[in-house]
Amino acid sequence: MSCMKVYIAGKISGDPNYRAKFRAASCRFTLPGVSVLNPADLPDGMAPGDYMAVCLPMLLQADLVVFLPDWQDSAGARIEHALAEYAGKNIYEWEAQL
């Protein structure tokens, strides 16, 4: 039996608190039978294009893509949103304050 996969998208670059923000969202969606795909868990030090090369395939594997309230402030998250729409993914724009 496979689990539901939830990808979290939002602003990372330029946000010193991004790990805590993504961790809070990850905790919210960590439920029995759900695997959270969290790009904030990737190691530091890679180029933006390298992160996208890892994150876009993760997004494509997701059943649901959750966009944090600041996603529109991120070029990478805007790319993720366009891909999620193009691929017909279930999209949830989370309004909660983190």
Q: CA angle, corner 82, sides to 67 and 87, nearest 5?
A: 100
For strand 4-9 and strand 34-37, is the pairing parallel, antiparallel, or unpaired?
Answer: parallel
**pLDDT tens string for the chain (98 positions)?**
689 999 999 999 999 999 999 999 999 999 999 999 999 999 999 999 999 999 999 999 999 999 999 999 999 999 999 999 999 999 999 886 55
For 14-77, give the DSSP string.
T-TTHHHHHHHHHHHH--TTEEEE-GGGSPSS--HHHHHHHHHHHHHH-SEEEEPTTGGG-HHH
pLDDT at 2: 81
Does domain 4-93 fall under CATH 1.10.510.10? My reply is no
Helix axes 48-61, 75-86, angle to 10 degrees: 30
Domain boundaries in the chain?
4-93
